[in-house]
Structure 1
Amino acid sequence: MRPPEDDEPQSWWIASTAIPLVAAATGPLANVMSIVALVMPWRSNIISTEEGPAGNIIQKGYPDPRWTTALNAVSLVCGVVGNVFLLFNFTQTVRYIIALPVTIILWFLATGILGGITAAMSVYSPPTAPDQIFSQAYWSAVIAAILYFILSIILMINMLGYFLGRYPQHFSLTDDQRTLILQMTAFVMWLLIGAAIFQRVLGISFADALYFCDVTVLTLGFGDITAHTAVGRGLIWPYAVIGIIMLGLVVGSIHQFAREVHYDNVVRKHIEEKRQSTFNRSINLEELHAARENPSNGGKDVPAPVLLRDGSVTAHYKHHSHQPIRNALRASRRPKLLVMREEKDRFVAMRAIQYETMRFRRWNDLILSVIAFGIVWTCGAVVFWQLEEISYFEGLYFCFCSLITIGYGDFTPQSNAGRPFFVLWSLIAIPTMTMLISQMSDTVVASFKHATDKVGDYVVLPQSGKYRAFLDHFPRIQQAVQRRQEKKRVKRGFQVGAEADEEAEPETNRPSSTSGPKEVDQQHSSHNDPSHDHPHRTIEELARDPGPSPFELAQQLAFAIRRTTHDAVDSQHKRYSYEEWAEFTRLIQFTDPQTRPSSYSTSQPRGGEGCVSVDSDEYGVLNWDWIGENSPLLAKQSEPEWILDRLCESLIRYVSTQEQSRATGARGVDAEEATLRKEKDLG
């Protein structure tokens, strides 16, 4: 077993993260069902088969045996206290090794008590058919017993992972996940408060009032239970608004939790597998050249270069003897253009992994949401098929209308077993449907929008140059169109050829003769301002650039900070090209005394065999590898945010360096003055 806190990796992420949150979110629902089972009789007399104010048959409960009520109260206390200890466990008020066993034991006791009294009731004091039936309270007790049992089992799985040393003795939940627990508890309490109010206002049972509040907050609006008085209708307004807001918070938190857990444990694992595969196969051209010319390896283990689709060079080793290659690499001097081309290959390879992972995440999330939706939909239809005496197709139709929140009202839960189950099922199904719609907006809806935008560019609102760019893919059609245009111009008396092209040049591409000197100066000043976006230079131009002075680099650093700040605020999904990254990298590295100001290199092989570590000092990160473990393209921050942090670190290094230089100069002046005084005294 591991201590309460450690930095070791955690496995069994479902048991360590998902299970505690599911238990904390579902535990209050089990308590609600226990409350319904306590405040109402378990058996009812059928007064009339006609539809009453609650939308079902008119029935009235009669008292239960005292032992049933007493044991029912004990089970409710066990369930609530177990839930309280679980919350204490989350807040670390009570130790894990104490709080979790207490929760499990109490919930098992609640399960045993509810299971025992429901079985005893059905055997020794069952309702007499056909004039008597089990009420919604009885079936609520059955549902509560099942929930307590399931939650106890999954918490035992969590405890098993702790005993096996898979994670420390605490729930690894974030603040947002703990907020979800509080939001779910508050939402359930709101349902109970509404049930207590509308029970008296509408003149219905507590269970029917709970069902009414659930249908209202979920915006289903079946219409089987409605408010007929002014007081009831007036109370619906604030109750529904507050309830919908609370439900939205809960659904948003559940969606955020699902995305975080899926990203941390599935998507990042997918990224790491792709990155490690690319890293193991990648090697730059200079390493190949150095390995072939280095005699220390005896001509063995020379990799055969293979060109990847993205332009990167890979090699495969039969034996992993990288150290001779690294020694030869350190002794070699590579041209800057070659270094930048190799780095760009690694950058493009990592960018390809990034885009592939983005597609994987979106479609994987969509597939999982569709599977969850299918399970909730079909399994719910099976239960309502058995409880409501409808066909399976009608059950599918009813569940679908409920999931979409259409709520036609032609099919509604009528049985005493169906309504408590619907309350539980709907609180699980509606968030599932909401998450599915959210995932569809990132994939299916985005694809449809992109397709409609493309069609609109050509049909509805044609964009300038769209047809010309399309015809560029068909040279023969383009030539035919050009010949036809030339014939029309000849008929109208216009010239054809280079002179005509020169005359037809748009005036916007030439300096205006009517422009004043002030306007021309403003145009040139806007292009000369380093803070403005300038045309991106090619990799060859960057390699030939001798590099500005340190003062100019410091000035560019300030402008780059302003630019990345603007990008970070305006666009969280901004992605820079390799050439832009190269310029940012120079501004990050020029403040390092060991880095040449003109160097564009960003991936220096350092560290042990088979890995490239991030080089950093006391002020922050200096060097990295594009396909290394700490690649900027794998950061949780957006690219503008990551670069902005590094630029600020570079600014801090620059200020510190200037301060040290000033202090060193002052000490030199003091030493010179002391020497002059000493010579004067000796003279």
Structure 2
Amino acid sequence: MGTKKRDGCCKKFMKFLFSHVGLCAMVILYCVAGGFIFEHLEKNNEQQICYESRNEYTPMENKTIDSVLKIFSDYGFPNANNRVLMEVQIRSVLETFRDNTLAIGYDGRVCSDYGLPDGPTYKWSWPGALMFSVTVISTIGFGHIAPKTVWGRLVCIAYAVLGIPLMLLCLANIGDVLADIFRFIYAKICCCGCCRRKKSPRTKVVQIKPMQRGGDHDPAWKTDKSNEFSRLPTKSPTGSTDTNGNDKSRPPSKTSRPGSRVPSPVGKAVKIVPLDLKHMNRPPPMKNDPVVLDDDSDDDDDDLDEKKITVPLTITMIVIGGYIFGGAVLFGLWESWDWLQSAYFCFITLSTIGFGDVVPGTDFENPQAQAQLILGAIYVLFGMAILSMCFSLMQDEIIAKCKWVGEKLGILDKNDD
């Protein structure tokens, strides 16, 4: 008993897990868990990298200062004779310092102040790691941050291997559901109900007039003299017929019983099968009892009514453009980007290109940087679902158009899929 109950609970859990709500919950929890995992793996390493970069930068900075001072000590105060030579040497020293600084990647942060109110902000904070997790499983891959530790890279590979199929499965299911919802809204509102499918009833209720009862509750077929069976002539063995159904030449045998074989005039045995009078003696329906008859005449109509409503490509493109425009306005206000830069980021992100040259929340001096990263992650998740919906609608519309063209050209029949 306990095993059956356990199996039933497992089946219910698995059914919920792979439902639309369950898949969305799994993706969200997977991203949240990825944020905590990568934050734990890379946060401490970020500070350690800062210390290593500063240790490389400090000697190079001191060497650059010594080189500049040596130039001034060799040539003294710049004048008309030595000014050109001093400028060439100082410029060479500064260019070397610039290239080495860019190679090291140190930006002058105070590494000991990480995590303090006025100190530098971690790139691998939970919002930053959440944004990274979303870009990994959605195959966007901005590249603005990347794991540097051995364990971080190994976990990133395993995280992507499990997360990408989960994300694709969720987008496929959610996209189909949203497409059905959008078709319903389009049929009810945009088409003003003209695209509604008319369902023909599969059954018809017919009121049949009750039959007249004969005397002694006999069925009507027994008392009706005009019954068609009474009009059939009966042929006698000698060839004569009697319209009343009586055989004049040969009286019926008293020993004949149902199922017995009677010799026929031509020498063949005829088996007499008794009639089943149970159904014939059944009383007719009452006066107010309707009789329900199945009607299959609407099967052809159902095939016509089951046509899927397709949404025009223009409306689908308007939905995509509207979502990109809304994101452009939102990120333009948050990041102080111009409208072209904001729209460029939204398109590159939703199309999963992900150059990474424009990413929200990278200005870590901004106190709203963490909120912008969370907002960017939410925008990406919802945008991928809406884009999947639009792709599903566009696919149905293109298939419908191709089928229509094929029917016009005579390549396809109307009944062909």
Which category of TM-score, normalised to the shorter sequence, fits these structures? 0.3 to 0.5
Q: Which has the larger radius of gyration?
A: 2
By percentage of residues, which structure has more helix?
A: 1
TM-score (ref. length: structure 1): 0.28
Q: Which has the higher contact order (CA 8 A, sep 6+)?
A: 2
